[in-house]
């Protein structure tokens, strides 16, 4: 048999799963099985034996067949609000692409003199928007909004034989910038809210500005490294300022007046962004009643679906023969593989929680760490959570590990606030696999990012994130 990457995965997955089973007799039956299933799925993801979404389903189905999950509840995460958020966001992005709004915005950015100077400056423009927006809007929403625009720009500036590298780094850049920006505010990422809630149960209250004061330095440090790293990576890609200027000059002349489809898409897009931003603004202004109302009745997933429905309802004028701005055919053109991947990934994450595997991993830390070795303890906690998030939902990991780690810190008589902050932030810093975070899943869904490239680039960022988070936490603990 010719040893392709797929065949390697088919051989390695069962062997490594069996090895994990044989090496973990101390675990309960369910936790032991889940550990073996997770290793099997991880190898399948890395080698792309079957589509990534089907690997996630295979893992959950194996748990059902082996009797450690109920079929009635195993796939409930496919109805999770974040899946609805994906669907709505993808349809919004589809409308931009269908009516050419993404290319118009991309052309506007390209026409600015500052961004024309170099490929890195173009990258800077897109990544900074992603970083800034994700503080206030869900990072998955941010990346879904920027994806068609980024694809538009990379297609314009890159030659076919040279552009793949640039396109990959641009897409990874907006995903990573969104994850990094999302840690800056309490509302930027679900694990932040989970961490604040658990700390409140321990009598430690953190308000919006206190969180920003502690998390923003970590976020800015990581974003600074990302820019340096991407500048190095993009240095290998060809770029011609003259080609960009000639393209802009030509297309600015050809640019037509805004059509109704673009106007409707832009209006719905602005409405969605306004509704997504509103809770954060109300919270920042101390308008708790308004914040509670928006949070209850206009959650992010609700707004995304509302936007999608409006695009189907509002006609786009004579150019679309009286149909909606989106039509039925658009439903099949969004990336269902990515949507199913994240639903299956969250279901797998739930198995790690319910089987007790996460609890075993967390509590085993205390057996070999001396409480006097604070630096080692924080480093291990951060690295463990960060790597576990690669193969599970960051929300599920936060829900599971924050209370475990609070128990570990209590048992070692260590202060809670700063190590818990580090662990919560680490939940959003998984950069290697599509299933790790929604931004990773969305850019992988563009079919422009090979998983091997995401793993290689993400590994460097994972290691740097571990060091950066640990350094800041230890600084705060002085």
Q: What's the per-residue H, E or C state across 331-346?
A: HCCCCHHHHHHHHHHH
Signed CA dihedral, 344, 346, 352, 353: sign only: negative
Q: Indicate the average pLDDT of the chain.
A: 83
Q: What pLDDT score does 400 carry? A: 66
Alpha carbon distance 57, 321 (integer Å): 40
Do 46 and 6 form a contact (C-beta atoms < 8 A)?
Answer: no
Q: What pLDDT score does 151 carry? A: 81
Q: What pLDDT score does 163 carry? A: 43
Residue 405: both structure tokens together: 């780690």
Do 301 and 81 form a contact (C-beta atoms < 8 A)?
Answer: yes
Digit-coded pLDDT (tens) for 23-78: 999 888 998 999 899 889 878 877 778 887 888 889 889 999 998 888 888 888 77
Alpha carbon distance 107, 350 (integer Å): 43
Q: What pLDDT score does 259 carry? A: 84
Burial of 367 (0-12, 13-18, 19+ CB in 10 A): exposed
Do 6 and 49 form a contact (C-beta atoms < 8 A)?
Answer: yes
Residue 248: both structure tokens together: 């802009």
Burial of 311 (0-12, 13-18, 19+ CB in 10 A): buried
Mark residue 148 as left, alpha or beta (left: phi above 0; alpha: psi -120 to 50; beta: remaining).
alpha
What Å distances lie between residue 107 and 93, 146, 200, 239, 252, CA to CA? 17, 14, 47, 16, 8
Digit-coded pLDDT (tens) for 311-363: 999 998 766 666 888 988 888 888 787 778 777 777 877 787 778 776 777 67
Q: What pLDDT score does 441 carry? A: 85
Instruction: Say which residues have a Cβ less than 8 Å from residue 138's Cβ, sequence separation at least 6.
Output: 85, 182, 276, 300, 438
Predicted structure pTM score: 0.69
Q: What pLDDT score does 150 carry? A: 80
Q: What pLDDT score does 396 carry? A: 67
Residue ranges of the chain whose pLDDT lies below 70: 1-3, 102, 106, 137, 156-164, 240, 243, 247, 251, 253-255, 318-322, 358, 362, 365-366, 369-371, 392-393, 396, 400, 411
Do 269 and 92 form a contact (C-beta atoms < 8 A)?
Answer: yes
């Amino acid at each position: 048999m010719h040893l392709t990457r797929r065949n390697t995965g088919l051989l390695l997955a069962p062997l490594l799963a069996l090895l994990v089973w044989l090496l973990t007799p101390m675990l309960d039956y369910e936790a032991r099985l889940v550990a073996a299933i997770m290793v099997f799925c991880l190898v399948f993801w890395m080698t792309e034996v079957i589509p990534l979404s089907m690997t996630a389903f295979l893992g959950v189905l194996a748990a059902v067949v082996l009797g450690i999950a109920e079929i009635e509840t195993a796939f409930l995460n496919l109805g999770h609000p974040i899946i609805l958020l994906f669907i709505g966001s993808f349809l919004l992005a589809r409308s931009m692409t269908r009516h050419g709004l993404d290319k118009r915005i991309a052309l506007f950015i390209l026409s600015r003199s500052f961004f024309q100077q170099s490929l890195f400056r173009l990258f800077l423009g897109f990544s900074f928007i992603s970083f800034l927006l994700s503080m206030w809007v869900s990072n998955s929403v941010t990346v879904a909004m920027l994806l068609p625009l980024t694809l538009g720009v990379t297609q314009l500036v890159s030659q076919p034989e040279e552009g793949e590298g640039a396109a990959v780094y641009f897409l990874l850049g907006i995903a990573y910038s969104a994850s990094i920006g999302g840690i800056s505010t309490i509302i930027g990422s679900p694990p932040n809210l989970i961490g604040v809630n658990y700390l409140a149960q321990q009598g430690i209250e953190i308000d919006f500005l206190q969180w920003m004061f502690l998390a923003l330095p970590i976020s800015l440090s990581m974003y600074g490294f990302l820019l340096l790293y991407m500048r190095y990576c993009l240095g290998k890609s060809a770029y011609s300022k003259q080609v960009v200027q000639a393209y802009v000059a030509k297309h600015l002349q050809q640019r037509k007046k805004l059509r109704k489809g673009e106007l409707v898409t832009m209006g719905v897009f602005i409405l969605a962004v306004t509704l997504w931003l509103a809770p954060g603004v109300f919270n920042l202004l101390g308008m708790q009643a308004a914040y509670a109302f928006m949070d209850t009745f206009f959650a992010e997933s609700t707004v995304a679906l509302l936007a999608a429905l409006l695009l189907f309802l509002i006609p786009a004028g004579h150019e679309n023969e009286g149909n909606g701005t989106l039509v039925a055919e658009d439903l099949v053109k969004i990336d269902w593989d990515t949507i199913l991947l994240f639903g299956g990934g969250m279901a797998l994450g739930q198995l790690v929680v319910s089987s007790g595997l996460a609890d075993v991993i967390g509590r085993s830390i205390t057996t070999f760490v001396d409480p006097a070795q604070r630096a080692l303890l924080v480093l291990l906690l951060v690295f463990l959570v960060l790597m576990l998030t690669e193969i599970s939902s960051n929300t599920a990991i936060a829900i599971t590990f924050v209370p475990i780690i609070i128990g570990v810190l209590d048992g070692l008589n260590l202060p809670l606030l700063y190590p818990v902050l580090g662990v919560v932030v680490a939940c959003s810093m998984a950069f290697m696999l599509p299933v790790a975070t929604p931004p990773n899943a969305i850019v992988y869904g563009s079919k422009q990012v090979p998983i091997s490239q995401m793993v290689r680039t993400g590994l460097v960022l994972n290691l740097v994130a571990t060091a950066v988070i640990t350094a800041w936490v230890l600084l705060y603990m002085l």
